[in-house]
Structure 1
């Protein structure tokens, strides 16, 4: 999984944004606890999430503007949501071999998720684990 950690850290902006090197999931968790700066949101946009998705699943635009005006970082919860969504998106990207294919799959309603999209389910930690399990099955060639 270290390839996923490295890619998520890169998408978040690397050491300048994360305040140090990220070599493990524990380092990533500590960066979340320290609260990510607003600039970490750029990683979600670069990974293919729309402004509407970022507003819906991470932070509303009004709150984002307010934080920018006061030069405040994201909350721990918002930081966690960014990392969770980037983790799932990166895992899908590795599984499918391209960002485009990954992002298409993440937005496709799945029968095994009762018609929900993987991206919507990944809003919660429990949902993200389900999506990771499906991606692991796909990566191993099993029927998801």
Structure 2
């Protein structure tokens, strides 16, 4: 049996948060698979699954902060052709959010704790909420770095 690399575990975990095989109808096991999926566009059903399974995305403007899609836009997408894939930009932001949520679950121990943490000001992020930093790649990287520091007990 071949051990999976940490990134392959992240890919699997991220896919599961997006609904796994029920919503993503292709095997996604490696970074290249994830890249190809994002470039093709995630299916709308993956976003719907993520929103339905992640209560924090249903409150206020959190969905727009985290993923860049307003609740109204999501509703419009649901009424239109649901088989049409999301854009590369939308898919990338959805993937990034799910990846960071998965990492937070791993570090903090539960989905509930991860969601709570993402909505609270964090000392190691200059008292900014992790969710507020996900709008940009550098902000998301800062959140990922902070999760690694938490994992190793380094909060500064």
Count of aligned positions: 144
Aligned residue number for residue 69 of structure 1? 79
Aligned-pair distance for 1:69?
2.9
- Correspondent of 1:128 among 140, 148, 152: 140
Larger mean CA deviation between 41-50 and 126-135 belongs to 41-50
**Closer/same/farther in 2, CA of residues 44 and 25 from structure 1, 3 Å limit:** farther
Larger mean CA deviation between 62-71 and 76-85 belongs to 62-71
Runs of 4+ in 1 over 3 A off after TM superposition: none
Q: TM-score by structure 2 length?
A: 0.81
CA distance in 1, matches of 2:13, 2:55: 14
Quote the RMSD (CA, aligned, Å). 1.9
CA distance in 1, matches of 2:145, 2:129: 14
Question: Residue 66 of structure 2 contacts residue 131 of structure 2 at CA under 8 Å; is this kept in 1?
Answer: no
CA distance in 1, matches of 2:100, 2:16: 15
CA distance in 1, matches of 2:65, 2:120: 17
CA distance in 2, matches of 1:134, 1:110: 9
Find out whether 1:36 has 2:46 as its counterpart. no
**Closer/same/farther in 2, CA of residues 78 and 12 from structure 1, 3 Å limit:** same
Aligned-pair distance for 1:115?
2.7
* 3-state SS, counterpart of residue 50 of structure 1: helix
Larger mean CA deviation between 10-19 and 26-35 belongs to 10-19
Q: TM-score by structure 1 length?
A: 0.87
CA distance in 2, matches of 1:92, 1:77: 23
* 3-state SS, counterpart of residue 50 of structure 2: helix
